[in-house]
């Protein structure tokens, strides 16, 4: 799971001092999507002559951009942004890509072999983003053109879709030409497009792509629409968006975990309000609690307490439906972020108590019903139950808005391996014993799906990706993929500190060599040709091309 952004301003200005800086809006939007990735982030912009400027690094947006001070170093009227949450490979800014990708490729080993033996492209990281970027670049290279047009881009995407399997939502930038967005043919990962009037040029329109609608809405964008399964959109400088179905939809099955946990409650995904879906999850969970416990046991419950913040909405619905007192028994530390997406188990365990603390008066002598969005490894749940007991709770009942998670997630969310999942091979009674609760109650899968489907608009999704709960995924899964996934998780843990790879993969530029962040130089590959002069001679590229280059701000000191 990552956050992606793309922006092209209606006011195209090549003057470095012009007010049309896409980076300002992209930087602001990063904060609205920060919950989608805390590992690394970056922004790449395109300025005069097609020159690309980028700033990326490990950590959250405020750190990487020095509280906004680095934004002034990113000129240009178009750009893309990325917030990285590591799913496979290393936790590194090397994998915070100028090509912004949210999702996971489930045929990555096959793609890596294809790129090595057929396309002859060097892959520098374990990132799926780099694989997809290279497949796309190779398909563009097949046109043999120095300058591609919109049709070429869509044709190259169609061929890329035939090679890639999995779930994704991506934004990309064609230097000096425009911004591109596209979504997998199952609609697993979300992507939306909005527009607004230009702030600096009357009559012009700005267009922005984002993983969640809230990032657009808060920046004043309207006419927000979902990019549909298998659909792509390209926005050329100074022109309206062009939509194209690059692959026929194979399903319309967004990942239900977006509604359960990942997305912000003020977001709308595929026409379904995340907040409203969580309300319905709470009502349906309350009915399940009544069914399992009975009216007498419910009368013994003194308070319904949410585990902040994702479950706040659902817990309020549980309280309302059961006629029980609702109270905020835990205080969330605003300066500690999501422990679930911390890359290491030890960090997650330590982070729980840093993130949450119990209000003793809300627990002392009470039977409490704790409501959380889900139970994954049980790490957080066990610590929370312990805190409730330390605060004086006489009985703890733990309820999950999601069903038991028994299978790995394969579309961009690193939940855990099956051996780490607390529900793997256990019933709810064994799980209650493991986390030291009197009862553990799970939402039924059919009720979870109904909580979202009942809110779906006409022509919206009615089915969802729910493989983590039942092991049945919407896409075919290649043989041996789960072994590959476990191997990649092991690699990620082994290299959990800063990765030693310092570039984000091959960069299409012209002339000389590219200097990496660590000061090393490597030969530059130009449109798949190792010899730029030969490429000029055979017509693959135009001579005297100085219109595409990357200026890496990570090499420069911060401005003060």
Please say whether the beta carbons of 100 and 172 come within 8 A.
yes
Helix H or strand E segment including 81: strand 78-84
Burial string for 136-172 (b: 16+ CB within 10 Å, else e) reads bbbbbbebeeeeeebebbbbbbbbbbebbbbbbbbbb
Report the distance separating Cα 5 and Cα 80, nearest Å: 5
Please say whether the beta carbons of 164 and 135 come within 8 A.
yes
Q: State phi, psi for 127 to the nearest 5 degrees.
A: -80, 135
Report the distance separating Cα 415 and Cα 257, nearest Å: 11
Please say whether the beta carbons of 288 and 444 come within 8 A.
yes
Report the distance separating Cα 414 and Cα 348, nearest Å: 13
Q: Where are the beta strands (DSSP E) in 148-287?
A: 166-174, 178-183, 192-197, 205-210, 222-226, 231-236, 242-245, 268-269, 272-273
> Strand pairing of 272-273 and 268-269?
antiparallel
Q: Is 500 exposed, middle or buried (0-12, 13-18, 19+ CB in 10 A)?
A: exposed
Q: State phi, psi for 241 to the nearest 5 degrees.
A: -60, 145
What are the helix (H) ranges across 392-521? 428-435, 445-453, 467-470, 481-494
Distances in whole angstroms, Cα of residue 222 to Cα of each of 193, 430, 482: 9, 49, 41
> Strand pairing of 242-245 and 231-236?
antiparallel
> Strand pairing of 178-183 and 100-105?
unpaired
> Annotated active-site positions, please?
2
Report the distance separating Cα 270 and Cα 273, nearest Å: 8
């Amino acid at each position: 799971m990552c956050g992606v952004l793309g922006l092209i301003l209606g006011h195209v200005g090549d003057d470095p001092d012009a007010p049309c800086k896409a980076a300002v809006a992209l930087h602001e939007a990063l904060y609205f999507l920060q919950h989608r990735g805390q590992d690394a982030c970056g922004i790449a912009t395109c300025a005069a002559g097609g020159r690309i400027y980028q700033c990326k690094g490990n950590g959250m947006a405020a750190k990487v951009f020095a509280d906004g001070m680095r934004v002034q170093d990113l000129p240009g009227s178009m750009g893309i942004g990325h917030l990285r949450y590591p799913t496979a490979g290393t936790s590194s800014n090397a994998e915070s890509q100028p090509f912004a990708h949210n999702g996971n490729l489930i045929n990555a080993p096959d793609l890596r072999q294809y790129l090595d033996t057929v396309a002859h492209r060097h892959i520098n990281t374990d990132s799926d983003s780099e694989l997809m970027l290279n497949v796309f670049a190779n398909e563009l290279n097949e046109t043999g053109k120095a300058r591609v047009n919109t049709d070429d881009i869509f044709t190259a995407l169609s061929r890329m879709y035939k090679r890639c399997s999995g779930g994704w939502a991506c934004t990309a930038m064609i230097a000096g030409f425009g911004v591109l967005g596209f979504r997998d043919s199952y609609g697993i990962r979300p992507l939306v497009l909005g527009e607004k009037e230009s702030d600096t040029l009357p009559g012009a329109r700005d267009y922005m792509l984002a993983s969640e609608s809230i990032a657009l809405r808060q920046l004043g964008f309207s006419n927000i629409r979902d990019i549909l399964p298998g659909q792509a959109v390209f926005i050329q400088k100074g022109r309206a968006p062009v939509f194209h179905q690059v692959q026929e939809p194979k399903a319309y099955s967004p990942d239900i975990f977006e509604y359960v946990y990942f997305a912000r409650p003020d977001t709308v995904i595929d026409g379904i309000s995340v907040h409203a879906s969580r309300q319905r999850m709470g009502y349906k969970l309350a009915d399940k609690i009544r069914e399992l416990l009975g009216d007498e046991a419910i009368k013994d419950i003194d308070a319904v307490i949410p585990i902040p913040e994702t479950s706040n909405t659902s817990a309020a619905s549980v309280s309302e439906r059961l006629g029980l007192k609702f109270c905020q028994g835990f205080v969330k530390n605003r300066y500690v972020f999501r422990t679930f997406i911390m890359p290491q188990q030890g960090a997650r365990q330590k982070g729980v108590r840093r993130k949450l603390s119990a209000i003793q008066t809300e627990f002392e002598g009470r039977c409490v019903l704790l409501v959380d969005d889900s139970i994954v490894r049980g790490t957080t749940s066990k610590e929370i139950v312990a805190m409730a007991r330390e605060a004086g709770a006489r009985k703890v009942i733990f309820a999950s808005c999601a069903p038991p998670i028994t299978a790995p997630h394969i579309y961009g969310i690193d939940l855990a391996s099956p051996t780490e999942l607390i529900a793997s091979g256990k019933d709810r009674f064994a799980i209650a014993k493991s986390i030291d609760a009197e009862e553990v109650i799970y939402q039924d899968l059919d009720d979870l799906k109904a909580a979202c489907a009942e809110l779906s608009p006409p022509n919206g999704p009615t089915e969802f990706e729910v493989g983590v709960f039942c092991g049945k995924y919407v896409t075919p899964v290649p043989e041996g993929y789960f072994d590959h996934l476990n191997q990649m998780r092991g690699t990620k843990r082994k290299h959990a500190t800063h990765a030693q790879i310092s570039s984000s993969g091959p960069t299409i530029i012209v002339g000389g060599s590219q200097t990496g962040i660590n000061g090393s130089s490597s030969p530059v590959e130009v449109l798949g040709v190792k010899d730029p002069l030969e490429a000029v001679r055979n017509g693959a590229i135009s001579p005297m091309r100085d219109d595409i280059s990357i200026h890496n701000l990570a090499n420069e000191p911060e401005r003060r």
